[in-house]
Structure 1
Amino acid sequence: MDIIKMTELDLIQTKVDLTSRGSILEYMSKMLYHAGYLNDQKAFLQAVLERENHSNTGLENGLAIPHSKSSAVKKAGFAVITLKEPLKKEDWPSISQSNQVEAVFLLAIPEAEAGSTHLKLLSELSIRLMDQKFLDKVKAVHTRDELFKVLESGIVEEQVKDENRQIKSSDKYIVGVTACATGIAHTYMAAEALEKAAKELGVKIKVEKQGANGLEDKITAVDVANADGVIFAVDTKVKDKGRFNGKPFVEVKVAEPLKNGKAVIEKVLAQPQGVVNESDDNSQTGSAKKGLKSELMASVMTGISYMIPLLVAAGLMLGIAKLVWILVLGMDPGVIGAAEYNSAGGVVQFLHYLDSFGNMLFKFIYPVFAMFAAYSISDRVGLVSGFAGGLFAAGLHYTFWGIEGGIPSGFLGALVLGIAAGYISRFLNEKIKLSKNLNAMKPMFLVPGISVLAIFILNLFIVDPVFGGLNKMIADAITSMSGSGKLGLSAVIAAATAFDLGGPVNKAAGAIAIGLSADKIFPLTPRVLAIVIPPLGLGLSTMIDKYVVGRRVYPDDLRVVGGTSFLLGFLAISEGAIPFMLRNPLITIPINIIGAILGSCTAVAMGAVQWLPLPAIWGWPLVENLPAYLVGLVVGTLFIAFANIFVRNYLIKRKEAKK
């Protein structure tokens, strides 16, 4: 392959006088930016630095291959420099502790690009750099023109991707899977390292690359049947892992074969970690367990990632219905859900049902979150009990049991029940042993039946009483404050409203606030402001973080949901901010509460008054002293935005300092 198509003379420098990883990456990202490969140099540099924190890109023999997929990349390519003096071995973390980096290839890949010729070319570059002769030639040149010619001509013959390149005399055959976070360099280099090591050991091998191009050199059922073992060299979850059921395995980081591929192969043949469990893709006998903290975090992140599309869809349905109802039909948004419109016909009935449909979707946010949080821990066997736990968290059981005024456990219940469902299902799946003839009963009958019963008991006797009791205490506290001072009552209502973003505490505060307003005792000003301030503040923080602290402080999925949260905030749909709360409750909840209190009390103190339950933007003209209301809104929103940015940036810096 012609890898020179992916670079140009302006992206090549030799004998550069730089002495640190940070200065090198900044220098090379500027090269890519000025050559027209990037639309945002700082954003790309930040993405590269985040990738550096994930795993070492320093390799061995003086080589480093930093790389990243980013939306800041306009077209795929790479820059390359050689250094005047090799770095000290501690200046660039490498898979070989003695590595002193002197040749750096920085790969830039557009975020949306997958399966293209560009990625294949970059993968080929990664493989070629594994060849010592080619790398020595790169490091030996003195001018960029010479280096360009080395890259242009190449000195490595094309690799033959078939069984003929394997040694035929060996009676051992193994298969492997490689996968790194970005699916580019390490994925292919690890595969190449395993193939070379196997050749030297006289072992036949076939390696499947699970990278940005999808599955390459896919391992077939025949390969698995003939294999003496399987190697998982991965930093991500293996796709379709169940096809290796019953095979001895070792699982290592994707960089491990680059350190010592022979040792990895010898281990799978002589001392495997265990066998892939026939009944559960995620459960392996004798495998090393993930740390509890990382497993819990992965569970929460998985639940959020599956919940976000439902959240966005629900908000979109509500937004369309309400906006058309108000702007086109000119009707009161407060009555869109009235039963009288069930048979109104035409556009009115359509919008009435669309609004109801959006509200119905919101009821399933917690079931979807809990279901996939459980799935992350126990795979498919946890889906049913996780979904059941989410139904309890959403309070749907009170509807079917005919209990009025029941307070569900909300997001805390979804967290507890979803995670519990995962661990209970995994425990049952590992411990229940049946004969082969009865084995199908385990995933279809025993595990879901017992785990759902366990979740029912857990919710009935622990989760509902604990969190229901907590919520009732908060509601009683709010009621007892009804005769207190204006600002004190405003602070309590605002805090309770912002606490769980549409959850039971929020609703308890709403019921009390609306009652006080209906009796003309106290206006709804703090209530309506506390509904919109958190989603607006969190959404805004995802948009301005890089301008405030010079970096992105949110992962990609939360940046995506941030824009949605901001828009939903204007529609008074606070649930758009729930993913932030689920990901980092200890950060998000206190900041939401403080921001809501500051904004609400500021507006109330300045004389803003809102008696109607219309927190969305179309209700703002009905506010008495609107300027005071907007000042409070801005104060609360900006506090939440900046507090989140500074706190999250501090935590990132502390983590970097520890590393």
Structure 2
Amino acid sequence: MNLKEITTPDLFYFDLKADNKEAVLDFLIHELSEKGYLKDEGEFKKAVYEREAHSATGMEKGFAIPHGKSTAVKEAAFAVAKLQKPLAQGAWPSVDPTNEVELVFLLAIPDAEAGSTHLKVLAELSGRLMDDAFLKGLFAAKNAEELYAALDNQEKEEVATQDSPYAGKTVLAVTACAAGIAHTYMAAEALEKAGRELGIHVEVEKQGASGIEDRHQKKAISQADGVLFAVDTKVKEKDRFNGKPYVSTKVAEPLKYAKELLIQTLEKPSGVVQEGDGQETSENTGKAEKKGWRKVGSDVTSAIMTGISYMIPLIVAAGLMMGIAELVWVYVLNLDPGIIGDVKNQTAGGAQQFFYFVNAFGSMLFKFIYPIFGMFVSYAIADRVGLVAGFAGGLFAGGLHYTFWGIEGGIPSGFLGALFLGLVAGYVSKFLNEKIKLSKNLSAMKPMLLVPGISVFVIFILNMYFVDPVFGALNQWLSDWITSMSTSGTLVLSAIIAAATAFDLGGPINKAAGGVAIGLAADHIFPLTSRVLAIVIPPLGVGLATIVDRFIVGRRVFPQDLRVAGGTSFLLGFLAISEGAIPFMLRNPLITVPINIIGAVVGSCTAVALGAVQWLPLPAIWGWPLVQGIGAYLIGLVVGVLIIALANIFVRLAIIKKKERNGEKINY
């Protein structure tokens, strides 16, 4: 296949001066735009950077293959840059951490060209880059013209098969990445090459942007000794492989460990593909119907994880803005932290005005936590057509409609509403996208008008007549119940306020508890001790758990993304920003919410029983010296934090061990 079909000599750049990944990408994107391949440079740039955030596009041996799939691309093409000086290790996140990127291929892929010749050529390029002889020819080029000419080099480096204990064995593989282009074909090429070296017959099915290519047939499946799933997406028609030993890994892993994975598939598989493991089935049989609920459960779990992964950076950014502002406000400007949100600061001038707006900006970002979460929960189910409806559902869950509509006293549905509406948005959008059929001339109306328009209207109706009334009534009942307990005993009321505060980490129940507690404190009826402790105990507790788990039980019990969120949560806890712990609550609510409540109640009641008293609404670390009985306060704080940290560690460890006994591979 001729790679020159979708590129031109003027898209090849030699001795490009660049010190970082962003400079290279921005240059190549701009050049593609200047040469007329893009309709919207900014939109394509966004697609490329979104793909960069998903997983590493740096590979090994000095090259990277970033790519973007977008409606902003008029015509498929790729641009190439040979850098004057290789980037430092780590400057371009790579499959091989020691990779020093020197040769960059940027692929521009039209969103609507699945199955086209252009995509097949791009797939060919991805696979060809795993061929050492082809790469050697590219790096030997002395100018842009020679670099372009080297595309014709189709020599394949064949490896003489030595005597091997695996000779005669057959492994079937399935590769699939999020974009369906580069990693899909590069992983396939790496596995085929490793198979030749080991004497293993390897056949690879690519589930990419062009659909299923090189589909494994029944005879090949029946004769195979094992199956290797190297995927970042759901495996299509996985039920075909029922009864076969398998290994499942990320699509980038064969680029580093192809031989090891093939050997593992033959010698130490993760398990056997079971009835009900299927992701998508091609036959509408009764047997497939019975698997539906398991499939839905898997989809929901994946959607929640996707939503959390996109939400975490927003939580971190918002928390840092507020934390920096509050620290400067208290320790540099020596101002009362209680007035940082006073609107009078808008015209105060100088640093006071500046950090008022920094704090206000962070607070504003926090209001979009649920819209971002809902948007990407929906995206995980329906892809791009679900983004708008998911975002709308998150707006409702965060209560922003009450703000814009001028409705006072409205109680938002919070994290449960965001999860529910995000899932509904995803399934409704997916249904509409699959069922609406239009002629080719009108096809653009479906993703741009019909799917978002109808799905958003469904979310609006559902929220107005179900989510807001049901969750609003529940939250109002809890608020009234808390208020009715205001004349009860000290420890009982402390426990109730602490439990409600820790329940949803800044959500409506938390705010209801805050309203009651602050009202009682304002009238000097009941201090805020349990309230302020319950704000900081959960984020500190879950954050500490991610830091010390391996020291307590000898292994990690949290995945990488939650470990990152945990460090942030721990720091934000000292600033009384409990929202840092929301990712844990959304990922595992049945674990996190009860543990948060227990830790907050026990810690708060311990402090109150020992004599700690806090009348001021200052839960952050700078408010601690103002507590009467600071020793008792800190004892209660430590008790609550340790309960949450240790309970999270041991409960999650027990779940992991149970999964491992059932044959699941957990690699944290």
Matched-pair contact (CA < 8 Å) for 2:528–2:617: yes
Aligned to 1:586: 590
| CA distance in 1 between partners of 2:97 and 2:642 (Å) | 45
Q: How does 1:34-113 map to 2 (within 5 A)?
A: none
- Residue type of the partner of 1:114? S
Matches within 5 A, 1:535-574: 535-574=539-578
Map 1:274-285 to 2 at 5 A. Answer: none
Name which of 420, 428, 439 aligns with 1:435: 439
- 1:255-270 matched pairs, under 5 angstroms: none
Q: In the alignment, does 2:462 pair up with 1:458?
A: yes
2:527 counterpart SS class = coil
Q: Does 1:236 align with 2:236?
A: no
Match of 2:651 in 1: 647
Match among 395, 399, 424 for residue 399 of structure 2: 395
Helix, strand or coil: the match of 1:330? coil
Q: Which residue of 2 aligns with 1:114?
A: 94
- Tell me, yes or no, if structure 1 residue 629 matches structure 2 residue 622: no
Q: Is this contact kept in 2: 1:186–1:254, CA < 8 A? A: no
Alpha-carbon distance in 2 for matches of 1:358, 1:607: 35
Q: Give distance in 2, aligned partners of 1:594 and 1:445.
A: 48
2:368 is the alignment partner of 1:373 = no
Partner residue of 2:175? Answer: 178
Instruction: Tell me the amino acid that sits aligned with residue 656 of structure 1.
Output: E
Aligned pair in 2 of structure 1 residues 206, 412: CA closer, same or farther (>3 Å)? closer
User: What is the DSSP-based 3-state SS (H/G/I as helix, E as strand, rest coil) of the residue aligned with 2:231?
Assistant: coil
Q: State the distance in 1 between where 2:213 and 2:207 align.
A: 19
Q: Secondary structure at the match of 1:178?
A: strand
Write the distance in 2 (CA, Å) between the matches of 1:634 and 1:255.
Answer: 41
The Cα shift of 1:484 comes to 0.4
Aligned residue number for residue 613 of structure 2: 609
Aligned partners of 2:237 and 2:606: how far apart in 1? 65
Q: In the aligned structure 1, how far is the partner of 2:239 from the partner of 2:605?
A: 59
Give the structure 1 partner of residue 527 of structure 2.
523
* Distance (whole Å) between structure 2 residues aligned to residue 208 and residue 382 of structure 1: 25
SS in 2 for 1:554: coil
Do the aligned residues in 1 keep the contact of 2:603 with 2:638 (CA within 8 Å)?
yes
Supply the AA of the counterpart residue of 2:518. I
- Contact between 1:479 and 1:512, CA under 8 Å: does it hold in 2? yes
438 and 292 in structure 1: CA distance in 2 versus 1, 3 angstrom threshold: same
Q: Do 2:185 and 2:206's aligned partners in 1 also have CA atoms closer than 8 Å?
A: no
Contact 1:190 1:254 in 2 (8 A): no
1:341 equivalent in alignment to 2:342: no
Give the whole-Å Cα distance in 2 for the aligned partners of 1:615 and 1:450.
Answer: 44
* CA distance in 2 between partners of 1:177 and 1:549 (Å): 35
Deviations 1:290-332 (A, max 9, x none): 8222211110000000000000000000011010011011000
State the alpha-carbon separation in 2 of the partners of residues 616 and 189 from structure 1: 52
Corresponding residue for residue 536 of structure 2: 532
Q: Is the 8 A contact 1:229 1:249 kept in 2?
A: no
Choose the corresponding residue for 2:323, options 319, 322, 330.
319
Q: Quick one: distance in 1 between partners of 2:643 and 2:424? A: 35
User: How far apart are 1:191 and its partner, in Å?
Assistant: 3.6
Displacement of 1:236 in angstroms is: 2.7
User: In the aligned structure 1, how far is the partner of 2:451 from the partner of 2:248?
Assistant: 37
Corresponding position: 1:485 with 2:489? yes
1:65 matched residue in structure 2: none
How does the TM-score come out when normalised to structure 2? 0.63
On the 8 A contact 1:366/1:390 being kept in 2, the answer is yes
Per the TM alignment, residue 206 of structure 1 is displaced from its structure 2 partner at its CA by 9.9
**Number of the residue aligned with 1:35:** none
Structure 1's consecutive aligned runs of 4 or more residues displaced over 4 angstroms after TM superposition are 109-113, 115-120, 157-167, 179-189, 193-197, 205-210, 227-234, 247-260, 272-275, 287-290
Counterpart for residue 106 of structure 2: none
Mapped to 1, the partners of 2:655 and 2:414 lie a distance apart of 27
The one-letter amino acid paired with 2:376 is F
Q: Show the counterpart of 2:599.
A: 595
Match of 2:475 in 1: 471
**Shift in Å at residue 566 of structure 1?**
0.6
After TM superposition, give the deviation of residue 234 of structure 1 in Å: 4.7
TM-score, structure 1 as length reference = 0.63
- Cα separation, partners in 2 of 1:189 and 1:514, compared to 1, 3 Å: same
Cα displacement string for residues 519-541 of structure 1 (whole angstroms, at most 9, x for unaligned residues): 11100000000000000001001
Q: Is the 8 A contact 1:229 1:248 kept in 2?
A: no
Kept in 1: contact 2:204–2:214 (CA 8 A): no
Change (3 A) 1:382 1:180: closer
Given candidates 576, 580, 602, the residue that maps to 1:576 is: 580
Q: Is the 8 A contact 2:386 2:429 kept in 1?
A: yes
The CA deviation at 1:397 is 0.5
Task: Report the Cα distance in structure 1 between the residues aligned to 2:186 and 2:404, rounded to whole angstroms.
Answer: 54
| Structure 2 gap ranges (5+) | 1-59, 62-88, 101-130, 136-152, 159-172, 217-226, 250-260, 267-279, 284-290, 664-668
1:577 alignment partner, SS class: helix
Q: Is the 8 A contact 2:417 2:467 kept in 1?
A: yes
- CA shift for structure 1 position 207: 8.7
Instruction: Write the distance in 2 (CA, Å) between the matches of 1:190 and 1:578.
Output: 40
Quick one: structure 1 residues 117 and 183, their matched pair in 2 at CA, closer, same or farther if it must change by over 3 Å? Answer: farther
CA distance in 2, matches of 1:490, 1:425: 45
2:390 maps to what in 1?
386
1:448 aligned residue: 452
Q: 1:249 to 1:533 in 2, by over 3 A?
A: closer
- Give the match's secondary structure for 1:645: helix
Q: Distance between the aligned counterparts of 2:315 and 2:361, measured in 1? A: 12
The 1-side partners of 2:483 and 2:420 are apart by 28
Q: Could you tell me which amino acid in structure 2 is paired with residue 439 of structure 1? A: S
Query: 2:538·2:578 contact (CA, 8 Å) conserved in 1?
Result: yes
> Would you say the 8 A contact 1:299–1:376 is kept in 2?
yes
1:190 corresponding residue in structure 2:
191
Q: Displacement, 1:187?
A: 5.6
Match of 2:149 in 1: none
- Conserved? CA contact 1:537–1:641, under 8 Å: yes
Among 278, 290, 296, the alignment partner of 1:292 is 296
1:590-638 CA-partner distances (Å, limit 9, x unpaired): 0000000001101111111111100001111111111111111011001
Match of 2:514 in 1: 510
Partner Cα separation in structure 1 for residue 416 and residue 292 of structure 2: 29
Report the AA paired with residue 237 of structure 1.
D
Question: Percent same amino acid at aligned positions?
Answer: 61
Q: 1:186 to 1:606 in 2, by over 3 A?
A: same
Unaligned runs of at least 5 residues, structure 1: 1-74, 77-108, 121-156, 168-175, 211-218, 242-246, 261-271, 276-286
SS in 2 for 1:502: coil
Query: 1:499 matched to which residue of 2?
Result: 503
**Equivalent residues of 1:386, 1:421 under 8 A apart:** yes
Q: Is 1:363 matched with 2:343?
A: no
Residues 525-580 of structure 1: CA deviation (Å, up to 9, x unaligned): 00000000000001001111111111100000000111110110000000000000
Q: 1:122-163 deviations in whole A, cap 9, x for unaligned? A: xxxxxxxxxxxxxxxxxxxxxxxxxxxxxxxxxxx9777975
Within 5 Å, which residues of 2 pair with 1:418-433?
Answer: 418-433=422-437
Letter paired with 2:191 = A
CA distance in 2, matches of 1:235, 1:111: 26
